[in-house]
Amino acid sequence: AVKVLNLLFEGASKSFDIECTVMRQIRHRNLVKVIASCSSRDFKASVLQYMPLGGLEVYLDSDGHHLNLVQRLDIMIDVACALEYLHHGYSENMTAYVSDFGIVKILVGQNYSTLTATLGTTGYIAP
C-alpha cells in the first residue's frame, strides 16, 4: 500500500519525517511494516506492507463479511498487543495489524505539536 502525504496541511512535512524515523525503529508482528519512503520538497509518500484482506472496517461494517466471536476476540488481542508494545517497548489469517496510528504523538509526546483532538498523521486523516 502507498500513502501519499497531502502537503497542504500545516505541519504535514515535519510530521511525515518524524513518523518515518520512528516507524523504521519499531518492530512488532501486529504493526504494519514500512517498506520504503520517498521524501522530497514537493512529494512525500511511504510504501507500507500490503494487507490482502483490506482494513478491519470491511469486516465490521459489512453485510457480506461476518466475524465470529473467536475471530473478534483474536483481533482485539492483536490490537491490544500492538498498542501495548507502542506504549511500553521499542525494539490471510485474520491477524490484526495496526497502521496510521499517530505514532509521532504517542512517542514524541508534548514536545511536538500535531493534532490535538484527533490522533493520526497530519495529512492522512480519513474523511
DSSP 110-124: GGS---SSS-S-TTT
Contacts for 30 with CB less than 8 Å, ≥ 6 apart: 78, 79, 81, 82, 85, 95, 96, 97, 98
Provide the pLDDT for residue 73: 92
* Average pLDDT score, the chain: 71
Backbone angles phi, psi at 46, to 5 degrees: -130, 145
Size of the chain, expressed as the number of residues it contains: 127
DSSP per-residue letters across 30-97: TBPPEEEEEE-SS-EEEEE---TT--THHHHS-SS----HHHHHHHHHHHHHHHHHHHH---------
What residue spans define the domains of the chain? 2-111
pLDDT in tens, 43-75: 888 888 888 887 777 777 777 778 888 988 998
Query: Quick check: 6 and 123 in contact, CB under 8 A?
Result: yes
Task: Please report the pLDDT score of residue 105 as a whole number.
Answer: 47
Is it the case that residue 77 has pLDDT exceeding 90?
yes
pTM: 0.59
> Residue 2 is inside which H or E element, if any?
strand 2-4
For the segment(s) 2-111, the CATH number from 3.40.1710.10, 3.40.50.300, 1.10.510.10, 1.10.3720.10 is 1.10.510.10
